[in-house]
Each structure stands twice: as C-alpha cells, then as structure tokens.
Structure 1
C-alpha cells in the first residue's frame, strides 16, 4: 500500500476500526473502546486545526492525554487512551498510511497531579532573551518566533486564536489585539510593551522580507502547517495574516507547535510542550502578581469561572513547594 499522507484523520480512524473488527477479529467491546477513544482524539485535533493524519504529531498526542489528565479523568481511562492511540498510529505506520509512527514514544502522564505545566518567570525571561538575540540578526524567522512567543505569553491566547489574527486586528497604539475564541466569540486582549516591540520588529523587518522571499520563489504564498481553523490548506491568506510560515503563507497550528516545542523541550518539568503552556504560564503569573480572578477569566476568554480557578490551585501548589524547600520548620 502506498503512503497516504494527505488522508483525513477521521478516514484513517474508520479504516483502522474496520481492520480491528474484521482483519484482527477483535471483540466488539474492544472495538467500541477504540472507537470512543479515537473519536475524542479526532475532536481534540480538529479543534486545534489539525484534520490530516500526516499532521498528527507526538506533541499533540501528549497534549491530548495531558488535557484528559487535568480534566480529572481516571488513570485507567488515560492509560487506555494511550494504548488506543498507539495501536492506531502503529497500524497506520505499518500499513503505509504514514511514513513514521508518532505514537511510538507516547506514554500516559505519570503521577497524580492534574495541574497544567507552568514555566517559571526566570525560564521565560531566559527563553525570550535567547530569542531576542537571534532576532537581533534580523533573520525573518527569528523575528517571527520572538513575536509569536511574546504574544502567546503576554496575551495568554490560544494557539488557534494566534494563527487566526490578521494585521488589522492589532492595535499597536493601544497595545491590544482582537481574537476570535471558542464558539466564535470575539474579544480584545491587552499585551505589553515587550510584545509590542517584538511585533513591530516583525511587521517592519521580518514579515515583508519573508513574504517577498516566498513570492519571489514561486509567485504565491502557501500555507505553513495548517491554516487557521476554517482556512484552506495551501490557500494564500498571507496578505492579511499577522504571522507567516516559512513558505510565506499564514502560520498554522502545526507550525506554531514546532516553534514552541523546540523552546520547551529542554526545560525541566513534566507536561506538554505546546503553545498552551504559555497560556497556562501567563494565567498563573498574573494570579501570582495579584490579578483578580475574574479579570484573568475575561483575558483568557473562559466561559466559566470554574475553568479559570485551576490556576489558583497552580499558584497554591507552587507556594507550598517553595514553603517546603525554604522554611526551616516545613
């Protein structure tokens, strides 16, 4: 069978379930468990702009399991999900649907903690200083990466919101950006001066150079990774897009994951290494700094205050850890 890298994820899942039922003769109960788990995976991936099997990467699979973990799912359920997706990706690789198996190194989250991963202030500062040093060379990709990370951390936005931003959504004077959140809800989010400076450098020197290079190469701009949710793959939306991929098209979810994963993979701490880590980190740092919980809820675009309250637990957990390590009578 030839590789089918362009196949939709949902189609591949259906083929795997048919193989499990008829090719391997597994019990109906086992097939139903596979179907339920993989249906959840497809929904999770689709919400993040990923609908093709070839774009299913290890970081997204890890984020899927981690999301289930800090939503309070039982350890046995998470372990079963891990097993289901590894069976699916192994079959897809062995059957020639994809070139390599993204689930081969996947493991269910360990430990009892359901708290999201948070990067320390010092780690964020060191990371951004390193990006700024690269961007000082005026390399377009480095200028973009710095602006992406600065905005993710400054505004606490979702990756799907980031890749959907157009240039006109940015108000550099008022230090705000308009984003389209879950359920099509629009909100205006503030950001700080460092993010503004990085965005201005990107818009003034990085974006025009990258777009010109791409247009000189083939006369059109192609998408990078996946376009924003609702956009067509390989469509040329670059005329409006705030962030561009390496080929000059709108930066997609997958491309953003790659940028962030490279930065987070070597940092200490468990949990996913995707863009959502900066959202968790921004919310926790705001609360640590004395921000009101409802203000953080509005910033993040949470429909329920209960969703935002997870970050109060993160702050409390960090405080307890500091106490245990620093207080002589802990």
Structure 2
C-alpha cells in the first residue's frame, strides 16, 4: 500500500472511529507527512517494504536534526509512526509492525504550576465584581457587562478544572442540570462536573445581567460565553481575559488558562480529595496523568515540614 494512502486511511480512522480532536489529527497529519516524504527519499513506495531498520533510521535522523527537536515533539512523532503501523497490521493491510521496537525518548516531567488560594481570589476579584454585590449606577454600562462575563468565565474555570477549549464549547443548556455541568472533553467524551455556589452565582449573574445584551449584538448562538460583539467567545479571547485579570491583580506568576486547571487539581488534593476522584473530574483517561499533581502536594508538605519541624534540617 502506498504510504500516503495508508496515512489517509489511518487519519480517517482516528477522526471517525476514535473521535480524536481536530488539533490532534492535524498534528498526526504533519508528522506522517514528514514520514512519507522521508520514505519517498529512501525510494520506498510501499508500506510492506518498510523495515525495522528504516523506522529506526528515521527516528535517529529526526533526533539528530539541528536545532535539536524537543523530546515531546520526538515522542509525538514516534507515536504517530507507531500508530500508523499498528493500524495497518490490525486492519490486515500489513503482516508485521516494523515500528514495534521503537521506544519513545524520555521526556522531562514538568510539574504544573498552581496559584495559591489567595492568588486565585485576587485574580477572580480583578476579573469582575462579586456577583452577590449590588450593582452601582456607575457599573451598569458596557464595561460592567464585560466584567460580569469575565468573572463568570474565571469562576467556572477554577470551579470545574475544565480545559479552556471545553468551556468555550459549553452551551447554555449544559447548565440545565443545576449544580453540575456537562462537559465534552477529548474524543467527544462527556463527563459531569459539580459547580460550586460561587461559580454558579457568577454564571447566573452573567446570564441575567450581561449575556442577553451580548446576544442582541450578534447572531443567535447557544454558546454560553459570548464576545463583545455577540459572537461565541474564542480561546484567544479567553486568554486575553485571563491576562488582563492577572495584570490587574498584579500577579508576578505566569497565568494561563491551564493555570486554573492546575490550581483546581492541586487545591483539591491539598484538601484531602482522592486522586481517582480528581482524575474523574479532570477527565483524565489514566490516573497516572493525574498523579503528577500528587508530586506538587508532596513538595508543599515537604516545605512545611522543613520550615516547621525543629530537627528537620
């Protein structure tokens, strides 16, 4: 089978049958386009002619490129190649998998950076007013509408630990379950996440006092969060909202949409939540992904011990 046709079949499989996201499929497409081009340079025009030695040579050549690629990029590239060949064997389009001995490079484990509870509170207050507070006459203009939306967005990110892409896909109807939220995660998998009283109050205030006005400015949309002109809010728009709030709160730490997710998980574990409960709330397929947050809490415990115990040092 021609490599390019094999790649097309594999991409259809991971899109339709496995339901991977557009971003993941696009990354696989780029990786495998480079792989096909490399095979063509080697004179290989049939996947049956691909050998273990060829796959290894491809991995070595990519690893030795200048400037050196990141370990995560190499790991993803090798995952793309292994996925392609495993697919061909599983579908009966190849007899053997030449990539089965390929081992991905070890990637450095990056501990997520979480904000403290005090920093989170500063950030939320900087985004917009407390929804329980009365609205002053000076706060009824366009700026007040936007700040109500911004407060609701940040409260929801912190309350649910959802990815920013997941929150941007929320419809108003996803809130119909009351104190829980229906979130569509990676691979279109749905999960139910509780919503605390603070976030619910902020979202209710936004729905009652801000969203109707934003909705009138554009075409009708079921999306929960709308931009200033009434169109669905984009991920870039959410990023700008967070950056503006961080500047107002005068936070020295770098703050991104994922910072809320990291803080959500870290604060739950510090509060005594079971790691498997946090795994379910985050929508992680494996508990091993969630366990990175336990390192953060252990580090915090170690710091407290070293500074508090009289014979710790």
Band of TM-score, shorter chain: 0.5 to 0.7
Match of residue 283 from structure 1 = 265
Alignment partner, residue 43 of structure 2: none
Equivalent of residue 168 in structure 1, options 173, 180, 186: 173
Counterpart for residue 156 of structure 1: 161
Alignment of 1:131 with 2:136, yes or no, is no
**Aligned-pair CA distance for 1:32:** 5.1
Aligned to 1:321: 303
**Residue 132 and residue 259 in structure 1: after superposition, are their counterparts in 2 closer, same or farther (change >3 A)?**
closer
1:77-116 → structure 2 map (5 Å cutoff): 114-116=110-112
State the shift of 1:185 in Å.
0.4
Root mean square deviation of aligned Cα: 3.3
Asked if the contact 2:155–2:199 (Cα under 8 Å) also holds between the matched residues in 1, the reply is yes
Structure 1 gaps, min length 5? 1-8, 18-27, 44-70, 75-112, 221-237
Conserved? CA contact 1:158–1:275, under 8 Å: yes
Distance 1:245 1:31 in 2: 45
Task: Give, in angstroms, the shift of residue 130 of structure 1.
Answer: 3.2
Q: Quick check: 2:278–2:290 contact (8 Å CA) kept in 1?
A: yes
Q: Among residues 50, 56, 73, which one is paired with 2:107 in the alignment?
A: 73
Contact 2:128 2:150 (8 Å CA) reproduced:
no
Indicate whether 1:267 and 2:263 are aligned: no
TM-score by length of 2: 0.61
Any idea what the Cα deviations from partners look like across 1:105-124, whole Å, max 9, x if unmatched?
xxxxxxxx821010101111
Confirm or deny that 1:309 pairs with 2:291: yes
Question: 8 Å contact 1:72–1:114 — kept in the other structure?
Answer: no
Contact 1:165 1:179 in 2 (8 A): yes
Pairwise CA distance, 1:35:
10
- Assess if the C-alpha contact under 8 Å between 1:134 and 1:142 holds in 2: no
The count of aligned residue pairs is 217
Structure 2 counterpart of 1:204 = 208
> TM-score, structure 1 length as denominator?
0.58
Deviation per CA, 1:152-209: give whole Å up to 9, x if none.
000010011000000011136x311111101110111111011010000100111111
Closer, same or farther in 2 for the Cα pair 1:205/1:292, shift >3 Å? same
Asked if the contact 1:152/1:278 (under 8 Å) is kept, the reply is yes
Q: Tell me the distance in 1 between the aligned counterparts of 2:145 and 2:224.
A: 13
- Partners of 1:240 and 1:34 lie apart in 2 by 46
Secondary structure, aligned partner of 1:178: strand
Could you give the per-residue CA deviations for residues 52-94 of structure 1, whole angstroms, max 9, x where no partner exists? xxxxxxxxxxxxxxxxxxx9725xxxxxxxxxxxxxxxxxxxx
Counterpart pick for 2:231 among 249, 255, 261: 249
